[in-house]
Amino acid sequence: MPFTRYARTPILNYGGLYGTGRAREAIQSAIKKGTLQTRQLVLRGRERLDTMAGVIYGDARYWWILAAASNIGWGLQVPPGTVLNIPALKDVAAIVG
């Protein structure tokens, strides 16, 4: 089972989770500080974040890591030529937890 960006977020009294921005902030901060290394990949044609996450990490549910590391927002479809910053999954897990 994959780790989740909701792991450290409070639970609202109706049971829903919020605060997904915390994972994004942690990833972007670590990249800026140089504590999270990334490699880059330029998207081509019809590539999407979820399909790229499936290829890179073996699980399409990790699309949010690519979005956060690349400062894309939360859209799955991005135009060709978009540069993805790709961190190692184990390093993101250590940060996001």
pLDDT in tens, 25-56: 899 999 999 999 999 999 998 899 999 999 99
pLDDT score, position 74: 65
Residue-level pLDDT at 34: 95
Spatial distance between the Cα atoms of 39 and 52, rounded to a whole number of angstroms: 14
Buried b (16+ CB within 10 A) or exposed e, 29-53: ebbeeeebebeebebeeebbbbebb
pTM of the model: 0.78
State the pLDDT at residue 76: 75
What's the confidence (pLDDT) of residue 19?
47
Residue extents of the structural domains in the chain: 21-96
3-state secondary structure of 56: helix
Taking the CA of residue 11 as centre, how many other CA atoms within 13 Å lie in the half-sphere pointing to its CB?
4
